[in-house]
Structure 1
Amino acid sequence: MSRYGYSIFCDDVRNEVGGKLSFVGCYNSVMFIPRETSFFLPKFCIHTHVVSPATEPFRSVYIRCYAPGSTEPIVEELIDTPALSDQKKLVSELEAGQEAPKIIVAAASIILSPFEIRGPGLISMRAVVDNVQAEVSLGSLRVVVAD
């Protein structure tokens, strides 16, 4: 199993009672925008998960957001990961035959307010794990001009 991830693209992420999250106005696979030079959303949120096998603990995870019209990330953030000692404890429990998770997950939300969309293309999320140059794909949302 190699590292992978996924993202939820939506209008808002809300913290609920009991540590739950609510995602409001989720996009499926396409966002339709009007035919303008650029388009502004008052708020745009992306909730991302990076998943790693428990035998390959995270040391660091940077998430990057790319938007249409920009070759460089519009956001790059270091996200919190479980402490390396906690991750290693999971691995030792696996080796001892105890019931333990086989994966480790790091998650974060990005809130862009306002968010400028310069045209059609992809809003893409990527992760750089442990400073390895190859980015892990965390999903994309296609932006299409509505006719």
Structure 2
Amino acid sequence: MTDHAYGITMFCDDIRHEVNGKLTLVGCYSSELNFTGPPPGVLPTFAALVHLRFPQETTFETLDLSVIKVEEEETLQIFSSQTKVSQDAFLDKSDAKEDNQSDKILSVVVPIQWAALVFSGPALLRVRAKLDSGVEVRAGSLVINFPTENSEEQLTSPKTAST
């Protein structure tokens, strides 16, 4: 188990909430999203499933989760949510020692969905969680790419055979 808070985000085209409580992630991206045409690029739907993990020793009352889009010189917060967290969500430390549960963690899972997301050029999405204690948790990022002029020329120009 880790002794610090951490987060992981899965970026995808859609999150579907199933009847039996399952979540289905559709069209998952690894570390990059690559548009095939020139900017602007439009994603009709886009989603992120954010997993945050906090060791028992972490104490806070509010959690501020945000997704930030950085394009060239412009930084825009495209999602923000501030949530109060009950200290009852954490195990009582005296009980943890007695029950040998010192490795317990608090897990927070937040699905986020956008109806449409527009990128005017190459960008970076960052997911951050800030605690009222001052701790910032980096929960992942996604690089947004567009083809360069050279890569478009390579795709459209015919290959010449040399003899």
User: TM-score, normalized by length of structure 1?
Assistant: 0.85
* Structure 1 residue aligned with 2:161: none
Of 25-34 and 98-107, deviating more is 98-107
| TM alignment of 1:1-147, pairs within 5 A | 1-69=3-71, 70-79=74-83, 81=85, 83-89=86-92, 91-99=93-101, 102-130=104-132, 132=134, 135-146=136-147, 147=151
Q: 1:119 to 1:79 in 2, by over 3 A?
A: farther
- One-letter code of the match for 1:108? V
* Gapped regions of structure 1 (runs ≥ 5): none
- Cα drift, residue 80 of structure 1: 6.4
**Residue aligned with 1:51, SS:** strand
- Cα drift, residue 86 of structure 1: 3.1
Aligned equivalents of 2:102 and 2:83: distance in 1? 23
CA RMSD of aligned residues (A): 2.1
Aligned equivalents of 2:84 and 2:61: distance in 1? 10
**Residue aligned with 1:57, SS:** coil
- Cα drift, residue 79 of structure 1: 4.2
Structure 1 or 2, whichever has the larger Rg, is 2
Q: 1:33 to 1:131 in 2, by over 3 A?
A: farther
- Cα drift, residue 37 of structure 1: 3.5
Aligned equivalents of 1:35 and 1:76: distance in 2? 30
- Cα drift, residue 68 of structure 1: 3.1
Identical positions, percent: 28
- Cα drift, residue 66 of structure 1: 1.2
Question: Is the 1:57–1:88 contact (alpha carbons within 8 Å) kept by the matching residues of 2?
Answer: no
Aligned equivalents of 1:79 and 1:15: distance in 2? 22
User: TM-score, normalized by length of structure 2?
Assistant: 0.77
- Cα drift, residue 131 of structure 1: 5.5
Question: Is the 1:125–1:137 contact (alpha carbons within 8 Å) kept by the matching residues of 2?
Answer: yes
Of 1-10 and 55-64, deviating more is 55-64
* Gapped regions of structure 2 (runs ≥ 5): 152-163
- Cα drift, residue 93 of structure 1: 2.5
**Residue aligned with 2:77, SS:** coil
- One-letter code of the match for 2:144? V
**Residue aligned with 1:17, SS:** coil
